[in-house]
Amino acid sequence: MFRKLADTYVYGNVHIALAAVSLTLFTRDILQLPMRTPFVLFVFCGTLFFYTVQRLLGMLTEKNIHAVFRRHYWNSEHRRLLFVIALISGAATAWMYFDLLLISQVLAVIPGLLSLTYALRIIPTGKGWIRPREIPGVKVFIVALVWGITGALIPAAAGGKTGLAWSSGPVLLWFAGVTAMIFALTVPFDIRDLNYDGKRLRTFPALLGIRGAIALSVFVLALFPICAILIRQYYGIVTPTGIVTIIAWSILSAIVIVGSTPKRHEFYYSFLIDGLIVLLWPLLLLVNCVQGFLES
């Protein structure tokens, strides 16, 4: 029963949707942004919808992939559940979308379109039609860009004139940091899939080797705390506890990334690495609590 619940939680995309919520709340507190509860629900439902749709589209465009990974088998066995999740989360996302400010609506279209077209064969080549994720080296950048916009630019835009402008210096620096962070966390997933589609998609592990891909991932991850430090240095926005949280989280993430191999269980990636994003906001709350206790 526990295994079934865990599979549903992870492969049903609830885990990754909570990761998006955690990143959104983390951005809110780091940049001290005003944010309404409906926007947080919009992020959760939107992430749940687009990831579920990608799973459904994947089953339509790929044949017999369920035998490769447990997640593929779970998806193929729970198509009806995925369809219901997509229907409900999609309706909720559409309803809350029209409650956003205009600039938030415009920005939200970009990751939405990228997410929908990510798994569709829309690019013509000499050998037929391919999906955007099949362009050599592009897959990681698409994922990082989608999360960077969703986790940095849109939360800033959602606050309107009462907070930072989405195009302001600190927000753009934060966008760069979040994009780099997601890039670093996405590379291990290509390590997971190396023996399945690494050479076909020419991912970083296929081009650089596993050690080279891990080194690249850790190097790019270091840009996350650097961007946060620059925001504090030049704009005085990020608090010391925020810096401590980001540095501690980045060290933990680097350790997990270094442990990536194609032989790891799927939960190492789908639960643990995605769980690092889920950890962001609770870790910040914990560090703030410890600081308050030490100062009392």
Average pLDDT, the chain: 90
Q: How far is CA 81 from CA 172, 203, 256, in A?
A: 38, 31, 31
**Residue whose C-alpha is closest to residue 107's, from 63, 152, 49, 62:** 152
- Coil/strand/helix, residue 130: strand
Phi-psi domain of 63 (left: phi exceeds 0; alpha: psi -120 through 50; beta: other): beta
**59: which 2 tokens?**
């089953």
pLDDT value at residue 102: 92
Cβ count near 100 (within 10 Å) = 19
pLDDT for res 243: 97
pLDDT(224) > 70: yes
Mean pLDDT of 143-156: 96
CB of 180 within 8 A of CB of 220? Answer: yes
User: Among positive and negative, which fits the CA dihedral 72, 197, 50, 268?
Assistant: positive
pLDDT at 295 over 80: yes
How many Cβ atoms from other residues are within 10 Å of residue 189's Cβ? 19
**Cβ count within 10 A of residue 130:** 15
Q: Which residue has the higher pLDDT, 213 or 135?
A: 213
pTM over 0.85: yes
**Is residue 184's pLDDT more than 90?**
yes
| Phi, psi values for residue 78, rounded to 5° | -130, 40
pLDDT of residue 68: 62
User: Which domains are assigned to the chain?
Assistant: 2-291 (1.10.600)
The helix/strand/coil state of 124 is strand
Token digits of residue 128: 């037929």
Kindly indicate the confidence band of residue 275, based on its pLDDT and cuts at 50, 70 and 90.
Answer: very high
Per-residue pLDDT tens digits for 239-271: 999 999 999 999 999 999 999 999 999 999 999
Contacts of 234 (CB under 8 A, 6+ apart): 169, 170
Q: Tokens for 44?
A: 């959760």
Tens-digit pLDDT profile for residues 41-64: 999 999 999 999 988 887 776 655
**Mean pLDDT across 168-174:** 97
122: Cβ–Cβ under 8 A, 6 or more apart, which residues? 129, 131, 132
Q: Is 69 helix (H, G, I), strand (E, B) or coil?
A: coil
CA 43 → CA 48, 154, 228, distances in Å? 8, 10, 23
The answer on pLDDT for 159 being more than 90 is no
* pLDDT attached to residue 119: 72
